[in-house]
Amino acid sequence: MATGLKRYEFSERLADILGESRRDLRFRVTMLVADGLVAPGPRGRGSPPATPHYAAKLLLGSMAAPQQSYTVEAIRCYERLRPTARTADPAAPRITLGPRPLSRHASPPPTLPLLSGHRTFGEILARLLELATMPETRQGLARELFGIWVSRSYPVSAVQLGAWSEGQRNIITQGYEPAGGERPPVWLDPERDGNPDPGLYHTLFLPAAKLVEIGKLTSLPDQARPPMINLGPKMARISKLADLVRQTRFRGRWEQLLAALASVQAWSDQVDTRASKLVEVRDFGSNPGQLRMLTYVPDRLPAAAPLVVLLHGCTQSGVSFDKGTGWSTLADRHGFALLLPEQHWTNNPLRCFNWFRPADTRRDEGEALSIKQMIDRILEDHGLDRRQVYVTGLSSGGAMTSVMLATYPDLFAGGAVLAGVPYRTADNMQEAFESIFQGRSRTPREWGNLVRGASPHRGPWPKVSVWHGDADSAVKPLNADELVKQWTDVHGVAASPPVERTVDGHLCRVWQGADGEPLVESYTIGGMSHGAPLSTGDRPDQCGTAAPFFNDVGISSAFHIAGFWGLLERESDASVAAATATADRARPTVIDLSRDYLSRDSGGDRPDHGQPEGIYARGGHASDQTAGSAARRPESGGTDAGSESVARGVPPGILVEPSGPEREETGPEPSDRASGPTGGGDVPLGIPLGINVHGIVRKSLAAAGLIQDAAPAAGESRAGDMPFGIDIPGIIGTSLEAAGRLRGSATGPDSAGSTKEAAQATADSDWEGEGWELLTDDSGGPRLFGQVSSGRTCETGKQVRSASRKIVLGPSPELSYVRRLNLDAAVNDYTSASFSVLVDGTPVDEASAVGMEHVEVEWLQRSDIDLSRFAERTVTLTFEVAASSNVCSEVSAKAWVDRIRIKSVSSVC
Q: How far is CA 553 from CA 320, 533, 651, in A?
A: 19, 6, 26
pLDDT(95) > 60: yes
Which range is least confidently modeled, 160-164, 558-562, 684-688?
684-688
pLDDT(878) > 70: yes
User: What does the alpha-carbon distance between residue 131 and residue 126 come to, in Å, rounded to a whole number?
Assistant: 9
pLDDT(716) > 50: no
The answer to whether residues 372 and 411 touch, using CB atoms and an 8 Å cutoff, is: yes
pLDDT for 557: 97
User: What does the alpha-carbon distance between residue 791 and residue 884 come to, in Å, rounded to a whole number?
Assistant: 8
Q: In this predicted model, which residue has the larger pLDDT, 138 or 414?
A: 414
User: What does the alpha-carbon distance between residue 747 and residue 785 come to, in Å, rounded to a whole number?
Assistant: 12
Which range is least confidently modeled, 699-703, 792-796, 815-819, 898-902?
699-703
CA atoms within 13 A on the CB side of 383: 5
pLDDT(578) > 60: no
Under DSSP, is residue 209 helix (H, G, I), strand (E, B) or coil?
A: helix
Which range is least confidently modeled, 185-194, 357-366, 633-642, 818-827?
633-642
pLDDT for 660: 41
The answer to whether residues 799 and 789 touch, using CB atoms and an 8 Å cutoff, is: yes
Q: How confident is the model at residue 875 (pLDDT cuts 50, 70, 90)?
A: confident
Measured in whole angstroms, the distance separating CA 345 from the mean position of its chain's CA atoms is 20
Spell out the SS3 assignment of 512-567.
ECCCCCEEEEEEEECCCCCCEEEECCCCCCCECCCECCEEECCCCHHHHHHHHHCH
The answer to whether residues 840 and 874 touch, using CB atoms and an 8 Å cutoff, is: no
Q: In this predicted model, which residue has the larger pLDDT, 3 or 203?
A: 203
Mean pLDDT of 832-840: 92
pLDDT for 684: 36
Q: Is 522 a known active-site residue?
A: no
Spell out the SS3 assignment of 691-743.
CCHHHHHHHHHHHCCCCCCCCCCCCCCCHHHCHHHCCHHHHHHHHHHHCCCCC
pLDDT for 581: 40
Mean pLDDT of 746-762: 41
Size of the chain in residues: 909
Q: How confident is the model at residue 707 (pLDDT cuts 50, 70, 90)?
A: low
pLDDT for 738: 45
Mean pLDDT of 187-206: 73
Cα dihedral sign, 651-652-654-660: positive
Which range is least confidently modeled, 144-153, 155-164, 282-291?
155-164
Residue 905: other Cβ atoms inside 10 A: 15
Residues contacting 370, CB < 8 A, separation 6+: 285, 287, 288, 289, 290, 291, 341
Which range is least confidently modeled, 1-5, 246-250, 880-884?
1-5
User: What does the alpha-carbon distance between residue 111 and residue 113 come to, in Å, rounded to a whole number?
Assistant: 6
pLDDT for 617: 32
Q: What is the DSSP string of 35-100?
A: TTSS----SGGGPPB--HHHHHHHHHHHHH-SSGGGHHHHHHHHHT-EE---BSS-S--EEEESPP
Residues contacting 176, CB < 8 A, separation 6+: 81, 82, 83, 84, 120, 121, 156, 157, 158, 159
Mean pLDDT of 31-56: 83
pTM score over 0.75: no
Phi and psi for 280 in degrees, rounded to 5? -85, 140
pLDDT for 731: 59
pLDDT for 84: 79
Q: Which of 62, 276, 395, 892 is catalytic?
A: 395
The answer to whether residues 889 and 196 touch, using CB atoms and an 8 Å cutoff, is: yes
pLDDT for 174: 86
pLDDT for 104: 42
| Residue from 657, 647, 656, 655 nearest 581 by CA | 647
Which range is least confidently modeled, 295-299, 513-517, 650-654, 675-679?
675-679
Burial of 681 (0-12, 13-18, 19+ CB in 10 A): middle
Which range is least confidently modeled, 671-675, 750-754, 802-806?
671-675
Average pLDDT, the chain: 76
Angle, CA of 487, 492 and 493, to the nearest 5°: 80
Q: How confident is the model at residue 362 (pLDDT cuts 50, 70, 90)?
A: very high
pLDDT for 534-568, tens place per residue? Answer: 999 989 999 999 999 999 999 999 999 999 999 99
The answer to whether residues 407 and 461 touch, using CB atoms and an 8 Å cutoff, is: no
pLDDT for 156: 87
pLDDT(741) > 80: no
Under DSSP, is residue 816 helix (H, G, I), strand (E, B) or coil?
A: strand
Residues contacting 453, CB < 8 A, separation 6+: none
Mean pLDDT of 613-620: 32
Mean pLDDT of 169-187: 80
Q: How confident is the model at residue 798 (pLDDT cuts 50, 70, 90)?
A: confident
pLDDT for 829: 77
E strand or H helix at 333, and its extent?
helix 327-334
Q: How far is CA 541 from CA 63, 327, 329, 527, in A?
A: 53, 12, 11, 21
Q: How confident is the model at residue 735 (pLDDT cuts 50, 70, 90)?
A: low
pLDDT(696) > 50: yes
pLDDT for 726: 59
pLDDT for 700: 63
Q: In this predicted model, which residue has the larger pLDDT, 606 or 437?
A: 437
CA atoms within 13 A on the CB side of 44: 0
pLDDT for 842-851, tens place per residue? Answer: 899 999 988 8
pLDDT(253) > 80: yes
Which range is least confidently modeled, 200-214, 352-366, 544-558, 748-762?
748-762
Phi-psi region of 167 (alpha: psi -120 to 50; beta: other; left: phi over 0): left
Phi and psi for 761 in degrees, rounded to 5? -65, -40
| Residue from 802, 773, 766 nearest 880 by CA | 802
CA atoms within 13 A on the CB side of 636: 17
Q: What is the DSSP string of 459-493?
A: S---EEEEEEETT-SSS-THHHHHHHHHHHHHHT-
Residue 277: other Cβ atoms inside 10 A: 14
E strand or H helix at 8, and its extent?
helix 7-18
Q: In this predicted model, which residue has the larger pLDDT, 409 or 572?
A: 409
| Residue from 484, 363, 369, 352 nearest 429 by CA | 352
Provide the 8-state DSSP code for 811. S
pLDDT(481) > 90: yes
Mean pLDDT of 507-524: 95
Q: In this predicted model, which residue has the larger pLDDT, 478 or 885?
A: 478
User: What does the alpha-carbon distance between residue 209 and residue 841 come to, in Å, rounded to a whole number?
Assistant: 39
Mean pLDDT of 189-216: 78
| Residue from 462, 465, 440 nearest 532 by CA | 465
Q: In this predicted model, which residue has the larger pLDDT, 696 or 11?
A: 11
Portion of the chain with pLDDT greater than 70, in percent:
69
Q: How confident is the model at residue 902 (pLDDT cuts 50, 70, 90)?
A: confident
User: What does the alpha-carbon distance between residue 881 and residue 823 come to, in Å, rounded to a whole number?
Assistant: 9
The answer to whether residues 303 and 541 touch, using CB atoms and an 8 Å cutoff, is: no
Residue 85: other Cβ atoms inside 10 A: 11
Under DSSP, is residue 351 helix (H, G, I), strand (E, B) or coil?
A: coil
pLDDT for 369: 96
Measured in whole angstroms, the distance separating CA 50 from the mean position of its chain's CA atoms is 38
Residue 674: other Cβ atoms inside 10 A: 17
Provide the 8-state DSSP code for 885. E
Phi-psi region of 899 (alpha: psi -120 to 50; beta: other; left: phi over 0): left
Q: In this predicted model, which residue has the larger pLDDT, 221 or 601?
A: 221
Axis crossing angle, helix 396-407 with helix 444-452, rounded to the nearest 10: 70
Is the bond preceding 184 in cis, omega lying within 30 degrees of 0? Answer: no
pLDDT(198) > 70: no
pLDDT for 222-252, tens place per residue? Answer: 544 444 333 333 333 444 565 566 566 777 8
Provide the 8-state DSSP code for 754. G
pLDDT(628) > 50: no
Which range is least confidently modeled, 35-44, 568-577, 676-685, 875-884?
676-685
User: What does the alpha-carbon distance between residue 623 and residue 649 come to, in Å, rounded to a whole number?
Assistant: 8
Residues contacting 497, CB < 8 A, separation 6+: none
Phi-psi region of 705 (alpha: psi -120 to 50; beta: other; left: phi over 0): left
Cα dihedral sign, 451-455-456-458: negative
Mean pLDDT of 642-656: 40
Beta strands in 84-184 (DSSP E): 94-97, 145-151, 156-165, 168-177
pLDDT for 503: 95
- Select, from the ranges 509-513, 694-698, 889-893, the one with the highest average predicted confidence (pLDDT): 509-513
Phi and psi for 474 in degrees, rounded to 5? -85, -45
Provide the 8-state DSSP code for 294. E
pLDDT(221) > 80: no
Q: In this predicted model, which residue has the larger pLDDT, 219 or 646?
A: 219
Measured in whole angstroms, the distance separating CA 292 from the mean position of its chain's CA atoms is 18
Burial of 739 (0-12, 13-18, 19+ CB in 10 A): exposed
Residues contacting 720, CB < 8 A, separation 6+: none
Which range is least confidently modeled, 185-189, 248-252, 429-433, 674-678?
674-678
Q: Helical H runs in 411-473?
A: 429-437, 444-452
pLDDT for 765: 60
